[in-house]
């Protein structure tokens, strides 16, 4: 083995003496916890167990109150409330109790079953103990619990943060609807737009994905060990178990999946994560564009009191919100794409590849949520530099070449001009050249076209050559594009 350099050997004298308390490995649970902690209520081990308890309790109530097993032991409204309070009051102490039980059972869902049996004893409902987890495979409980927690995380945490982001984008799009800017197709000066219209493009793109996510289906199965209701039928052959299963899944606010193996096939999860990933990619594109506009001087960054941009260059204000967002969107998609790919495949009637994978749903959505938070904050820290926009437009009169050659073509088509190949004429004038306003006026005055058309071109400036950009920006505000 190659000996360590002397400088490295000397580092041995600094070996750690004190020990830190256990620190989170994921920055989402450490450095960035404040931005994403609300997701933890749903997409954590504790959140999953709370949902499992809810599913088990609701099934127990349905079995008892519909007398499906002829127990003749309906649960009173008072006792139902007490059972549901177990879910509402789920605490750190309960989390610890479950963890201690699982340390013995080595099975998380079995620990939940024993937890509920203990609660039944405390509530004087010991006679219903055998209804707990009746005819269920673990995946009956897990798939419904994941559907509940993911649904609630999306609807109660992720989507509200997205709407705040969209609200800020709408505010800026309306504010800058008429502010002309030089476009840059292929990074080169191009036909002007307005900043409001360019932001409206992203609003339109993002909102299409939001609608897909809002309309997502959250499927659930509740049909036993291999999706056949075999144990159910043997235990109570006269019960309409298909109806009971559908009623139960719908009671939980989910869509019933009648045809499954031991597991719910997770296709809905792949669809959802793919939609979120596409939203992320569009948001990533927004970040790269805003970053580019900042670097071009189109957006000014508003200094934040006390903040430092560089450890050595005091003048700098770095666009870190957008850079941080780009990184987190990429991390989010790495996880979401993996989930969407992995979860749709299960060998024969069941394998466990989904079990570990699904425990990372919170990470995938968490990195997305952190990015959304950063973009929203970043949008509050920029302002449009109209001086920079005006300067670029004033320096690029050659972009009117498109307008001039198009007007000439219209004049030729209408019989008011005999100019041949207007495109080639303007290409010769403008390609690779920097022209002034005077150059363009001189050129237009020499054209053989109708006087009305010539007048329109003589009045045209790069600042005015924005077509319907302002109207498009205003239409996105009124939601009247379609």
- How far is the CA of 110 from the CAs of 58, 105, 341, 392, 421, in angstroms? 17, 7, 29, 68, 80
How many alpha carbons lie under 13 Å from residue 40 in its C-beta half-sphere? Answer: 11
Instruction: Look at residues 61, 49, 260, 225 and name the one whose alpha carbon lies nearest to residue 146.
Output: 49
Q: Are 447 and 454 in contact (CB under 8 A)?
A: yes
186 is catalytic: yes
Place of tokens 């450890």: 311
Round to whole Å and give the CA distance between 461 and 28: 50
CB neighbours of residue 357 within 10 Å:
17
From the list 43, 48, 53, 45, the residue with the least C-alpha distance to 115 is 53
User: Are the beta carbons of 162 and 371 closer than 8 angstroms?
Assistant: no
Phi (first) and psi of residue 226, to 5 degrees: -135, 25
Please report, for residues 63, 167, 171, 214, 370, the alpha-carbon distance to residue 319 in angstroms, rounded to integers and kept in the order given. Answer: 58, 21, 20, 31, 16
Strand 299-301 relative to strand 382-384, pairing: antiparallel
How far is 198 from 177, CA to CA, in rounded Å?
A: 9
Catalytic residue (choose from 186, 311, 356, 480): 186
Identify each DSSP E strand in 83-241 by its residue range: 180-185, 188-194, 219-220
CA distance 162 to 175: 20
Catalytic residue among 91, 126, 295, 310: 310
Taking the C-alpha atoms of residue 64 and residue 115, their distance in angstroms, rounded to an integer, is: 19
Task: State the distance between the two ends of the chain, measured CA to CA, in whole angstroms.
Answer: 70
Helices (H) and strands (E) in the chain, counts: 21, 6
Q: What is the β-pairing status of strands 255-256 and 219-220? A: parallel
Per-position DSSP letters for 327-388, written without gaps between them:
HHHHHHHHHHHHHHHHTT--STT--SHHHHHHTTHHHHHHHHHHHHHHHHHHHTTEEE-HHH
Q: Which one-letter DSSP state was computed for residue 126?
A: G
**Which active-site residues does the annotation give?**
186, 310
């Amino acid at each position: 083995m190659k000996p360590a350099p002397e400088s490295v050997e000397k580092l041995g004298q600094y070996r750690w003496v004190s020990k830190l308390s256990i620190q989170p490995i994921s920055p989402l649970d450490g450095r960035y916890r404040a931005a994403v902690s609300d997701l933890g209520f749903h997409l954590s081990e504790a959140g999953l167990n709370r949902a499992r308890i809810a599913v088990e309790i609701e099934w127990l109530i349905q079995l008892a109150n519909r007398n499906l097993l002829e127990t003749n032991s309906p649960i009173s409204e008072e006792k139902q409330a007490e059972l549901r309070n177990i879910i509402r009051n789920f605490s750190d102490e309960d989390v610890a109790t479950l963890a201690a039980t699982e340390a013995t059972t080595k099975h998380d869902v079995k620990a939940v079953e024993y937890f509920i049996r203990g609660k039944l004893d405390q509530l004087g409902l010991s006679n219903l103990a055998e209804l707990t987890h009746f005819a269920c495979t673990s995946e009956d409980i897990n798939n419904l619990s994941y559907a509940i927690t993911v649904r609630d995380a999306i609807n109660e945490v992720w989507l509200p943060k997205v709407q705040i982001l969209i609200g800020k984008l709408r505010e800026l799009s309306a504010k800058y609807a008429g502010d002309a800017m030089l476009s840059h197709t292929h990074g080169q000066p191009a036909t002007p737009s307005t900043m409001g219209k360019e932001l409206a493009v992203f609003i339109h793109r993002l909102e299409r994905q939001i609608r897909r996510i809002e309309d997502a289906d959250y499927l659930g199965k509740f049909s036993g060990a291999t999706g056949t209701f075999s144990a159910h039928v043997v235990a109570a052959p006269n019960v309409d178990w298909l109806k009971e299963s559908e009623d139960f899944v719908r009671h939980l606010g989910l869509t019933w999946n009648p045809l499954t193996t031991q597991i719910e096939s997770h296709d809905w999860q792949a669809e959802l994560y793919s939609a979120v990933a596409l939203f992320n990619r569009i948001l990533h594109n927004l970040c790269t564009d805003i970053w580019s506009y900042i670097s071009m001087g189109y957006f000014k960054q508003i200094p934040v009191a006390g903040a430092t941009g560089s450890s050595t260059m005091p003048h700098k204000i770095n666009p870190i919100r957008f850079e941080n967002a780009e990184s987190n969107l990429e991390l989010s998609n790495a996880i979401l794409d993996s989930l969407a790919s992995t979860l749709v495949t299960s060998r024969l009637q069941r394998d466990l590849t989904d079990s570990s994978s699904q425990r990372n749903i919170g990470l995938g959505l968490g990195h997305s949520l952190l990015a959304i938070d950063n973009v929203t904050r970043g949008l509050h820290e920029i302002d449009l530099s109209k001086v920079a926009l005006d300067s670029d437009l004033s320096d690029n009169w050659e972009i009117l070449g498109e307008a001039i050659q198009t007007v000439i073509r219209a004049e030729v088509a209408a019989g008011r001009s005999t100019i041949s190949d207007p495109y080639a004429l303007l290409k010769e004038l403008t390609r690779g050249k920097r022209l002034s306003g005077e150059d363009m006026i001189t050129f237009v005055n020499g054209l053989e076209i109708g006087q009305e058309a010539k007048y329109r071109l003589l009045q045209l400036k790069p600042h005015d050559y924005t077509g319907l950009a302002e109207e498009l920006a205003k239409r996105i505000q009124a939601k009247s594009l379609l």
